[in-house]
């Protein structure tokens, strides 16, 4: 006797499921907005504090800017990543998701996309603010800066989402996420700072290319690796 229930519904494919999950996460984030605003305010405060931490007469502010930018980017990104799986853990909503026929990788991709939007949103405000505070020249370099920020965000989010999924199930969640993620963020920060310093100083793209190559390779390797590793972080 054919089982009607099996025939009737067609669970969404991986891309559509990822999109639905990302949309759900963003809807939740949009309702409260606290995490986004906290990360944003943190980034702006950090950029401000860094300025006073250096002697502006010894080093030009515009030389400091790339470093400041990517360090604040990293730490405000971590703030956003912290809450990423908390919402699933709170009432065990993740169990309801795991009982459905949805691909496990789609859960990871959906959350990563939502985190990417979050981080990109914070960056969209922070970068102009840093350019303002540090007197960075607005010009051709700005577009390149946005592109580098996007590439760096992809890498950050790929690794951070996976470690957030792991950390939330452990005893030391808030400590573990930064501790595990930061070594992985180091190549991202180095590449982003190195290439953006070159491009903001007006150097040709060819000089920044070695760094950009590392950044792109990092993104490709870790998006694939983390997507494949994610199912292992679910209880089985």
Q: Catalog residues that contact other proteins under the rule CB under 8 A.
A: 1, 3, 5-6, 8-12, 17, 20, 24, 27-28, 31-32, 87, 90-93, 95-102, 159, 162, 166, 169-172, 175-176, 179-180, 182-184, 186-187, 190-191, 194, 210-211, 214, 217-218, 221-222, 225-226, 229, 232-233, 235-236
Report H helices in 168-204.
173-200
| Smallest separation (angstroms) from other proteins to the CB of 138 | 25
What tokens were used for 183? Answer: 């070594």
Q: Among residues 96 and 124, whose Cβ is nearest to other proteins?
A: 96
| Smallest separation (angstroms) from other proteins to the CB of 167 | 8
Question: What is the rounded CA–CA span in Å between residue 212 and residue 206?
Answer: 10
Distances (CA, A) of 118 to 29, 30, 166: 9, 10, 20
What tokens were used for 112? Answer: 């990563």
What tokens were used for 168? Answer: 């939330």
Q: Among residues 146 and 176, whose Cβ is nearest to other proteins?
A: 176
| Smallest separation (angstroms) from other proteins to the CB of 203 | 11
| Smallest separation (angstroms) from other proteins to the CB of 181 | 9
- Contacts of 126 by beta carbon, 8 Å cutoff, 6+ apart: 40, 43, 44, 47, 69, 72, 73, 76
Asked if residue 146 lies in contact with residue 55, where contact means CB atoms within 8 angstroms, the answer is no
- Contacts of 149 by beta carbon, 8 Å cutoff, 6+ apart: 73, 120, 123, 127, 192
Q: Among residues 73 and 131, whose Cβ is nearest to other proteins?
A: 73
Q: Among residues 87 and 109, whose Cβ is nearest to other proteins?
A: 87
| Smallest separation (angstroms) from other proteins to the CB of 123 | 21
Q: Among residues 129 and 166, whose Cβ is nearest to other proteins?
A: 166
Q: Among residues 45 and 228, whose Cβ is nearest to other proteins?
A: 228
| Smallest separation (angstroms) from other proteins to the CB of 163 | 8
Question: What is the rounded CA–CA span in Å between residue 151 and residue 175?
Answer: 26
Question: What is the rounded CA–CA span in Å between residue 58 and residue 21?
Answer: 49
| Smallest separation (angstroms) from other proteins to the CB of 64 | 15
Q: Among residues 34 and 135, whose Cβ is nearest to other proteins?
A: 34
Question: What is the rounded CA–CA span in Å between residue 24 and residue 158?
Answer: 19
């Amino acid at each position: 006797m054919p089982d009607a229930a099996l025939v009737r519904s067609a669970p969404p494919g991986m891309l559509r499921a990822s999109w639905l999950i990302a949309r759900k996460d963003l809807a939740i984030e949009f309702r409260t907005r606290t995490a986004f605003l906290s990360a944003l305010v943190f980034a702006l405060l950090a950029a401000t504090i860094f300025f006073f931490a250096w002697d502006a007469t010894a080093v030009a502010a515009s030389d400091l800017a790339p470093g400041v930018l990517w360090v604040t980017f990293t730490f405000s990104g971590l703030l956003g990543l912290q809450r990423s799986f908390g919402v699933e853990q709170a009432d065990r909503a993740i169990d309801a998701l795991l009982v459905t026929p949805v691909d496990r990788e789609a859960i990871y991709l959906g959350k990563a996309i939502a985190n990417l939007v979050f981080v990109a949103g914070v960056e969209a405000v922070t970068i102009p603010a840093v350019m303002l505070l540090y007197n960075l020249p607005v010009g051709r370099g700005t577009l390149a800066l946005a592109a580098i920020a996007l590439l760096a965000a992809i890498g950050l989010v790929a690794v951070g989402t996976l470690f957030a999924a792991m950390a939330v199930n452990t005893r030391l969640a808030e400590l573990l996420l930064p501790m595990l993620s930061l070594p992985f963020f180091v190549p991202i920060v180095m590449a982003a700072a190195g290439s953006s310093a070159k491009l903001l100083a007006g150097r040709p793209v060819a000089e920044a290319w070695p760094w950009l190559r590392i950044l792109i390779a990092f993104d490709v390797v870790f998006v694939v690796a983390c997507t494949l590793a994610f199912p292992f972080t679910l209880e089985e």
